């Protein structure tokens, strides 16, 4: 759902033309591969649509494990397994690049005293009271 879409619970309906059976496969060490098999509303496989594969793993950071999720452009499970290592590396590289970009943008930002937040005000007193007026 995009930011502009609003969920109206009275209009909530399942998209019968876009159903998938989700299967999770794992090596119980580092890899989880999710296979989304298209199905019809009666639960039978829908061979007219493509099976979707995605991968997930965790990387260890100083603050603990962080999940990394990514699409696997694969035609079958063997292909997904073969592409898992490179797709993981690309997803981690993309994540590092996004973090570095955010750090660059943050370092260019001009910080004003009002941005610092919290604590007492400057030498003239501090803000407070019902109208957030300056208290001397």
DSSP 31-63: -EEEEEEEE-TTS-B-TTS--EEEEEEEEEETT
Strand pairing partners for 35?
A: 23, 53
The tens place of each residue's pLDDT in the chain, 136 residues long, gives 555 667 788 889 999 999 999 999 999 999 999 999 999 999 999 999 999 999 999 999 899 999 999 999 999 999 999 999 999 999 999 999 998 999 998 888 887 787 666 655 555 555 455 555 444 4
Domain ranges, ordered by start, for the chain: 17-87
pTM over 0.75: no
């Amino acid at each position: 759902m995009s930011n502009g879409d609003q969920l109206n619970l009275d209009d909530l309906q399942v998209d019968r033309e876009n159903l998938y059976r989700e299967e999770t496969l794992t090596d119980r060490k580092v890899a989880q591969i999710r296979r989304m098999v298209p199905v019809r509303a009666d639960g039978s496989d829908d061979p007219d649509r493509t099976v979707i594969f995605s991968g997930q793993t965790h990387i260890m950071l100083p603050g603990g494990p962080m999940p990394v999720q990514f699409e696997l452009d694969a035609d079958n499970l063997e292909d997904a397994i073969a592409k898992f290592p490179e797709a993981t590396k690309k997803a981690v590289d993309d994540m590092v690049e996004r973090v570095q970009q955010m750090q660059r943008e943050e370092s260019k930002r001009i910080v004003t005293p009002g941005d610092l937040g919290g604590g007492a005000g400057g030498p003239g007193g501090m803000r407070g009271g019902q109208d957030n007026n300056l208290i001397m």
